[in-house]
Amino acid sequence: MNHLEFYLFITLLLTISLLFEREKRWLWRQILDLKMTLNQTYPLNKQETLLTPHFENLHTAKTIFVLKLDHIGDMILTIPALQALRKNLPNAHITLACGPWGKELLEQEKLIDTFIITSIPNKSLPTKEKKIETNRLKKRLQENSYDIAFDLRHYGDTQHWFKWVNAPVKIGTKSAHTPSNIKLTFSTIPPHEKHMTEKITHIVECMGLSPKSYAPSLTLSEQEKTQAHLFFNQKNWDPTKCIGLHPYANATTRDWGINNFIETANHLETLGYTCLFFIGNRADEVTPKLKKNSTSKIHTISNTTLRESAALIQCCSLFISNNSGPMHLAASVQCPTLAIFSGTEISSEWGPYGPNHHTIAVDLPCIRCHKGHCWHKTCLISIAPITITNQALKMLSNLT
């Protein structure tokens, strides 16, 4: 496809979007993805789109700024890149701008020296509060100067914040989402058919900063592990027979449905397993549904911090989840994870990273639709609870 055909295609898609208002977000995402692919095939400016070699002065940097305005799962997938920065630049002062969950996850990892916390990544933030938070973040970004700035969001759509970052060197992914008024000092094109954690790490790897591993890994303290084991002992739960479940996601198109999780738990409970529902701060909403539809005793874990949840998940023999932050959290503490994937993303790019994990997904023509809403959800409806139960039992048998 040449550029003329590309712009004709855009015109066609925008025309369709006027007729189908609810498909606009999906259509716009397709346009941006196509534009990025086109620019990789026919570079408009080779100086901007080709990979940049090792930066000679990188290892002399004393202050580094990292931009990661993203969600829980994305933050976890960024850990290998942050580990690469810390390993190769042990004396540098690293500042990270992120959501509050970033500090909660990483403060004990000793990878970051200063956190700039913002609620900007929260999509449900009211317009008035978002405006106030935007101005506050701009002011925080302008307070200090840095030797080098990294944007570790793969899509490049948060790079407009670089406008307020005082750094002579700015590094990030060059994509169709990159604002036209932002000039990156060095840009990278990540490997196309790679897992997202590898794509993110590629941004620092191209600068000569090799990671210890691509696998996102949280290092839990002995105190965190001990508290989790004490909790299990108090409940008389046998970790070898405990299965964690997380029945929610941040989009309805990724949500398999709590009743399906309950039916799966009912099957597993009859086989002697204890099913623990990790429900965050949704106890008032979820507990009545569990009591109404469950045929066995309900066990819920709620109102825990992310690291407390990670320690408790690590005690389980298996974790079953939608495509969500807790899915990546479970994989990061090496708990075998069974992920239920809709067609919004592909599991090879967004699934739990590492061995001993498995994803269940249905291959449909609309795969990788990136939709936030879908009227049919065939990709999820096609997955039966008995399918998840059988796969869970298979994974458990392989662990013994």
**Which run of H or E residues covers position 46?**
helix 46-49
Tokens 């529902």 locate to 277
pLDDT at 255: 92
CATH superfamily of 54-205: Glycogen Phosphorylase B; (3.40.50.2000)
Give the model confidence (pLDDT) of 83-124 as tens digits.
Answer: 999 999 999 999 999 999 999 999 999 999 999 999 987 777
What is the overall mean pLDDT for the chain? 85
Share of the chain above pLDDT 90, in %: 59
Using an 8 Å Cβ cutoff, are 243 and 268 in contact?
A: yes
pLDDT at 56: 59
Radius of gyration of the chain (CA): 22
Tell me how far apart the alpha carbons of residues 314 and 190 are, in angstroms, rounded to a whole number. Answer: 31
DSSP-assigned letters across all residues of 355-376: TT-EEE----TT-S---S--SS
Q: Which residue has the higher pLDDT, 222 or 186?
A: 222
Cβ within 8 Å of residue 123, ≥6 positions away: none
Give the model confidence (pLDDT) of 265-306 as tens digits.
Answer: 999 999 999 999 999 888 788 878 887 877 777 799 999 999
pLDDT at 343: 83
54 — pLDDT class (breaks 50, 70, 90): very low
Q: What is the mean predicted confidence (pLDDT) over 34-59?
A: 46
pLDDT at 42: 35
Q: Which CATH class is domain 222-399?
A: alpha beta
Using an 8 Å Cβ cutoff, are 154 and 172 in contact?
A: no
Give the model confidence (pLDDT) of 304-356 as tens digits.
Answer: 999 999 999 999 999 999 999 999 999 999 999 999 999 888 899 999 999 89
Residues for the chain: how many in total?
400
Highest mean pLDDT among 39-43, 50-54, 74-78: 74-78
At residue 248's C-alpha, the angle toward residues 376 and 131, to 5°, is 95
10 — pLDDT class (breaks 50, 70, 90): low
Dihedral sign, Cα of residue 41, residue 45, residue 49, residue 51: positive
Give the model confidence (pLDDT) of 225-265 as tens digits.
Answer: 999 999 999 999 999 999 999 999 988 889 999 999 999 99
Tell me how far apart the alpha carbons of residues 325 and 309 are, in angstroms, rounded to a whole number. Answer: 12
pLDDT at 386: 97
pLDDT at 127 exceeding the cut of 50: yes
CB atoms within 10 A of CB 41: 9
Q: What is the mean predicted confidence (pLDDT) over 116-135?
A: 87
pTM: 0.85
